[in-house]
Chain A
Amino acid sequence: MNYTIEFEPSGIRLVCEEPITIFDAARRAGVSLRSECGGQGTCGKCIVRVRSDKASPITEAEKKLLSPDQLAQNWRLACRTVASGDISVYIPATSTVEGPVLQLESLAVTFQPQTSIRTVSLTIPPASLTDQRADLQRVAGALQQQHGVANVRADLPALSAMREALREGDWNIGVALRGTDIIDAYPGTARTPVGLAVDVGTTKLACYLVDLGTGKVLAAQGAMNPQIAYGEDVMSRLAAAMSDPANALRLQETVVQAINAVARELCATLKLEAGHLLDTCLVGNTAMHHLLLGLPVRPLALSPFVPATGSPLEVNAAALGLDAAPGAHAYLPPPIAGFVGSDHVAVLLAAGFGEDNRTRLAIDIGTNTEIALQVGRRIVSCSTASGPAFEGAHISHGMRAAPGAIQKVTITSEGVVQSDIIGGGPATGICGSGVLDAVPEMQAAGIINERGRIVKGRPGVRLQQEGLPEFLLAAGSEGHRDVTITQQDIDQVLLAKGAIRAGIDIVMNHLNVKPKDIEDINIAGAFGSYLDPRNAVRIGLLPRVPLKRIRAIGNAAGAGARMMLASTEARRRAAALAKQVEYLEVTVYPGFTKYLADGMRLPAG
């Protein structure tokens, strides 16, 4: 029997034959729905309201994650609710995937563009009964005569394009060459050669349209990675791909479609089409790399976490489904290890690692945090599972840096809180930088002790329902709830910073480096840009170094991808870097648990 699931407010419908969870139905229908756990019933983010008696009974998970009021009003968790008849589902704004807040800016990178791709204009002698040479031979002759390029060749898609262009352009065409390969041909004259560099992030995609001749960015745009419907973190997505080959296929297609959509928009700003892209370079963590290529992920998802390749890959863009010129390639630099991807190679390339012998640290903070330490000719990298706390997730009043978010906190020794609210107020939550500000302030004011425990009896401290304490940051008013920092929030922050600090301390110990030896600490990613270096040192996220040595380098992975797009030399260096970097598995490093324990502690005032 067929039945229909209708999603509101979008009005999108899905017709199903078998009972299906609302969560899976939303995925199938392409409806945006938040999830941090990938449909495991643990994160409580996929809250929807159902209108029908054809929904499955309320589960234990829902009783735990939703209030009795919510349940009475038919609010459910999409991943725990099975529809077995016509049903209408309302998805509130709070349950949709947040709009892209994306960092596209990065440190200024200087490099010499140097690519084998160029475009030329050709005027070809028309075919006639007295000159019946084939199209390719005719173009090859003109290329040799007019531009001195010998022995050109063309594969089927380019050949096909060229045949049409010759006639449509009345024997005047523009030709794009990669070395001696014809990769595109179009009527008229040569266009500026353009390519696309993409940082395929777990959460966000950053796309750059680049002039291949100058290496300059012509336009840039971000988008959410739509794979997020399969879980917010890398492991959930790998689990989805492992559990069903159809999921693996969808994960591949959906991210390519999103890249194509951005590419179209970027090209349109310059009155171009995605079909004009002559080259693409894509970087990402190793899971993104494998999912994009459709490589089997099981060996990556389970110990010993081995990637399929440690070499660069250059494939036909069309083979991945990417919109580009007929003969365009997609270039994917190599991952370093299972949990240190080609995006980290790009970060190191952009930050100039491997070019000198200085003692330098690079950190890319995310759900997984990659760390690299350079000392002399050695570079050692590691990855730590830091979780999404610094991105505001799993923080009870966490939100992104939007109006209503507390972004700065000062607490006097009497426990009086002054907070800086984005847009002026009232406060509706706290963003990542606010949390990082609050923790050391609470410690300085004696609201939390050196163990990170909230001290009962201090002003502003009260007990939650579950018995653990919380600290009141901003009292609610007129429909706004109180904004508090709970003991669990503090623990999340300490766990995250402990994992990162343990990774830093382990690579430092491995290379026998002391904090004073470190000449610069480069923090990549959006987090680095709002991180106050003083707070990072105060809570012990970073070792105690002079603050001026800590610098945010923005989306360095995107910068590195651009360099590799427009420079074969950068590609060579990146491949060499990936080989040079030694990967260290921290979880089996001697004394790992002690590093982790020490990392989680707060430094003494």
Chain B
Amino acid sequence: MGEGLYQAISKAVTEGEEEEAIKRVEEALKNKLPPIEIMQKGIVAGISKAGELWKKNEYFLPDVIMAADAFKAAMAILKPRLEEKEGARKGKKVVIGVVQGDVHDLGKSLVIAMLTSAGFEVIDLGIDVPLQKFIDTAKAQKPDIIGLGAYMTTTMLEMKGIIAELEKQGLRKNLKVMVGGVPTSQEFADEVGADAWGKDALDAVQKALKL
């Protein structure tokens, strides 16, 4: 019964069927299936499949957006149960946020979905995140990677200050910084002193795996 449900969850996420995904996750929880397996075999498997289809040019953004939405909704239901179980998992830890002045959520959502599918533990700081919050979280959470997103030519200028401040506070030693977003480029990443640049959500995961 477990396998069938996992498959149903996975399929719902891949196809961006948010309500179906929620319904199936709730059903799985009711049936006392282990949350970690619901996540890995259901939700994460589903989003991984969507990423593969995207990579193969069978999916386009709308499909990935819908899959990421379903992923987000399903994870929101599962999350409280996951935390009940100590040390449910742990890949590398990524703290991610959209810089101050920028309220574009979509690109970051896709990156989070793809990172999670690749086994990263992701802490989402949201949008319009002040510099200090990145610094505080870097200290408190000790992530392996900090991901900065900016989706406007005007807001990407914020990134330089954040990276400089991480440097100044001596937090860069065991911490890699990745940047991404529509107006950014590899050259820009070099210029602001980032360790890597993600061209899109798929590329971001590839680069994060190599860091």
Question: Which A positions have Cβ atoms within 8 angstroms of B?
Answer: 37-38, 40-42, 59-61, 64, 80, 231, 233, 235-236, 238-239, 242-243, 301-304, 451-453, 468-469, 487, 491, 494-495, 498, 587-588, 593-594, 596-598, 600-601
Residues on the B chain within 8 Å of A238, using CB: 153-154
Instruction: Give per-residue flags for B164-191: 1 if the beta carbon is below 8 A from chain A beta carbons, else 0.
Output: 0000000000000000000101111010
What residue of chain A has the Cβ atom nearest to residue B99's Cβ?
A: A302
Question: CB distance A38 to B153 under 8 Å?
Answer: yes
Residue among A37, A64, A597 with max Cβ neighbours from chain B (10 Å): A597
Question: Which B positions have Cβ atoms within 8 angstroms of A?
Answer: 16, 57-63, 65-66, 69, 100-106, 109, 128, 152-155, 157, 183, 185-188, 190
Among A40, A64, A593, which residue has its beta carbon within 8 angstroms of that of B188?
A40
Dominant secondary structure of chain A at its interface with chain B: helix
Dominant secondary structure of chain B at its interface with chain A: loop
Among A242, A469, A494, A600, which residue has its beta carbon within 8 angstroms of that of B157?
A242
Question: CB distance A61 to B60 under 8 Å?
Answer: no
- Cα distance A598–B187 when bound, in Å? 34
Question: CB distance A242 to B57 under 8 Å?
Answer: no
What residue of chain A has the Cβ atom nearest to residue B183's Cβ?
A: A40
- Cα distance A223–B107 when bound, in Å? 37
Residues on the B chain within 8 Å of A37, using CB: 183
Residues on the A chain within 8 Å of B128, using CB: 303
- Cα distance A593–B58 when bound, in Å? 20
- Cα distance A249–B154 when bound, in Å? 18
- Cα distance A593–B102 when bound, in Å? 16
Report the tally of A-B residue pairs with Cβ distances under 8 A.
99
- Cα distance A243–B154 when bound, in Å? 9
Known contacts: A40-B185, A235-B153. The answer to whether A601 contacts B62 by CB under 8 A is yes
Residues on the B chain within 8 Å of A487, using CB: 57
Residues on the A chain within 8 Å of B185, using CB: 40-42, 61
- Cα distance A404–B188 when bound, in Å? 36
- Cα distance A453–B104 when bound, in Å? 26
Q: Nearest Cβ distance between residue B22 and chain A, in whole angstroms?
A: 15
Question: CB distance B59 to A451 under 8 Å?
Answer: yes
Q: Can you list 14 A-B pairs with a CB-CB distance of less than 8 A?
A: A42-B183, A42-B185, A59-B187, A231-B153, A235-B152, A243-B157, A303-B128, A451-B58, A491-B61, A494-B60, A596-B65, A597-B16, A597-B63, A597-B65
Residues on the B chain within 8 Å of A453, using CB: 57-58, 60
Q: Nearest Cβ distance between residue A495 and chain B, in whole angstroms?
A: 7
Known contacts: A238-B154, A487-B57, A593-B69. The answer to whether A303 contacts B103 by CB under 8 A is yes
When A and B form their complex, which 5 residue pairs have the shortest distance between CB atoms, in order from nearest? A302-B101, A301-B154, A597-B62, A235-B153, A597-B65
Residues on the B chain within 8 Å of A40, using CB: 153, 183, 185, 187-188
Question: CB distance A60 to B183 under 8 Å?
Answer: no
- Cα distance A445–B152 when bound, in Å? 37
Q: Nearest Cβ distance between residue A43 and chain B, in whole angstroms?
A: 10
- Cα distance A243–B160 when bound, in Å? 13
Residues on the B chain within 8 Å of A304, using CB: 103
Q: Nearest Cβ distance between residue B184 and chain A, in whole angstroms?
A: 8
Q: Nearest Cβ distance between residue A62 and chain B, in whole angstroms?
A: 10
What residue of chain A has the Cβ atom nearest to residue B58's Cβ?
A: A453
Question: CB distance A593 to B157 under 8 Å?
Answer: no
Q: Nearest Cβ distance between residue A388 and chain B, in whole angstroms?
A: 13
Residues on the A chain within 8 Å of B16, using CB: 597
Question: CB distance A60 to B187 under 8 Å?
Answer: yes
Question: CB distance A60 to B186 under 8 Å?
Answer: yes
- Cα distance A340–B138 when bound, in Å? 38
Known contacts: A242-B157, A587-B103. The answer to whether A600 contacts B61 by CB under 8 A is yes
Q: Nearest Cβ distance between residue A475 and chain B, in whole angstroms?
A: 24
Question: CB distance A302 to B154 under 8 Å?
Answer: yes
Question: CB distance B106 to A596 under 8 Å?
Answer: yes
- Cα distance A187–B188 when bound, in Å? 60
Residues on the B chain within 8 Å of A243, using CB: 157
Q: Nearest Cβ distance between residue A367 and chain B, in whole angstroms?
A: 12
Residue among B104, B154, B157 with max Cβ neighbours from chain A (10 Å): B154
- Cα distance A302–B131 when bound, in Å? 14
What residue of chain A has the Cβ atom nearest to residue B154's Cβ?
A: A301
Q: Nearest Cβ distance between residue B132 and chain A, in whole angstroms?
A: 16
Question: CB distance B102 to A236 under 8 Å?
Answer: no
- Cα distance A593–B63 when bound, in Å? 11
Residues on the A chain within 8 Å of B106, using CB: 593, 596
- Cα distance A304–B152 when bound, in Å? 13
